[in-house]
Amino acid sequence: MLEKSDTSVGEVLTLFNETGLEVGLLVPTPTGLQKSIMDATASFRDFLADASIHDFSRQAQGQENKVVVQAMMVFADGIKQTKVSLYRPNTKSGDPRVCIYGLKSHAVPFNLLAFFLWNDLLHVVNCSDSAVLHSIRQPNTPLGDIAQAAKPGLSSEADELLGMLREIGARGWIQTLRPGDTGIGMTLETLLGINANSSKLPDFKGIEIKAKRAGRKRKNRVNLFSQVPNWKLSPLGSNKALLDAHGYEGTGRKQLFCTITGKMANPNGFLLSIDGQKDWLRQNHVTAEAVTRMAVWELTKLRDRLTSKHRQTFWVSAQTRGKGPKEEFHYLAVEHTRAPRVRNFEALIEAGIITLDYTLYEREQGGAVGDHGYLFKINPKDFSALFPPSEIHELVA
């Protein structure tokens, strides 16, 4: 239901990403609000379980097994106590339900609700109320005070590395240990006592270190990662079957280049959807008559790819002078980027903010199929909805 939110999911996740608060999101429908009952979506269930609030997978069906938790509803000028009930009805397959007491007085259909845990209490924010949402950046407001207190500090490993880099920065100009573009990184790693190796592991106690010459900006990554569908789980079974069924003629060969979102079907009729029960991402083909499943990705693999591709990183910048073997570096600043909010991945898929690109083509007439990847992408303006904001640390006073 996030695709029907009357408020930007990306903006809300960006604002909460500026804090250390992990959030779960829900959007009430007209029927759900009227009956005070909402479906507990897969991503919301994961939020509750990860926060040790409630595990629907262990809950039996029926009103007698309903769980009621104390909660706080956050407003721009105060906090009101409420309750949230969590249960699985006897009807159908016992699809998980959530009810927020008194919500009808403070929300309308398709408002975007954010939930977070603070001081061992579940808190609820109606993010469609702009006064409440933007109070997250305002001191001396309930949400602003919580956000300020929740902001994460440096880990002991990051603090240790930052201290070492400040010692290097205080040394001033240092001559390169290797001429060429790679000299700046190799010199810094040597100064830190890191031996050159081909390992894919982070350089320093889980932290990746990247050195760059000042003035060369790090470009926003539009392509998050590429991941092939699990063809064994996918009805079509192969990239060739996908191209044969839905490809079109172009530049003398059959091809399939398109962008797919979870918000609405594209001109090909392709639509992404989250299967919460199986923890899958599906790509469906939607027509007026039917919805046909085409390809499947296991969400656990997509989360792992996102995490491994974008690790905690120190981007160290330096001024330079001289050329070749006489080039010198003065290491001046660090931009610290943290790992993505993996929980936000599915919400951003559903909201149409993270998209999937197909890049299939026929290598030769009637022959093998090639591709440039199954590309999961995000617009640079929405990057902060997935990644916590970076921090800049000066190395020289």
Q: Say if CB 337 and CB 207 are below 8 A apart.
A: no
- Would you place residue 177 in the very low, low, confident or very high pLDDT band (cuts 50, 70, 90)? very high
- Would you place residue 309 in the very low, low, confident or very high pLDDT band (cuts 50, 70, 90)? confident
Average pLDDT value for residue range 255-284 = 93
Q: Say if CB 128 and CB 136 are below 8 A apart.
A: no
Angle at 186 between CA 184 and CA 189, to 5 degrees: 105
Q: Say if CB 118 and CB 43 are below 8 A apart.
A: no
Any bridge partners for residue 97, and if so which? 39, 87
Average pLDDT value for residue range 269-274 = 95
What's the pLDDT tens digit per position in 222-263?
678 899 999 999 999 999 999 999 989 877 788 999 999 999
Q: What pLDDT is recorded for position 222?
A: 60
Residue 340 CB neighbour total at 10 angstroms: 22
Structure tokens at 154: 């440096």
Q: Exposure pattern of 21-54 as b/e (b: 16+ CB <10 Å)?
A: bbbbbbbbeeebbeebbbbbbbbbbbbbeebebb
Q: What pLDDT is recorded for position 221?
A: 35
Location of structure tokens 């039917």? 290
- pTM confidence score: 0.66
Strand (E) or helix (H) holding 81: strand 79-87
pLDDT higher than 90, residue 81: yes
Q: Say if CB 23 and CB 51 are below 8 A apart.
A: no
d(CA 64, CA 89): 10
* Mean pLDDT, rounded, of the chain: 89
d(CA 85, CA 101): 8
d(CA 191, CA 194): 8
94, 96, 92: which is closest to 47 by C-alpha? 96
Q: Say if CB 226 and CB 383 are below 8 A apart.
A: no
Location of structure tokens 């929300």? 107
pLDDT higher than 60, residue 269: yes
Location of structure tokens 């603090």? 159
- Would you place residue 75 in the very low, low, confident or very high pLDDT band (cuts 50, 70, 90)? very high
For residue 111, how far is the Cα from the chain centroid?
21
Q: What pLDDT is recorded for position 365?
A: 64
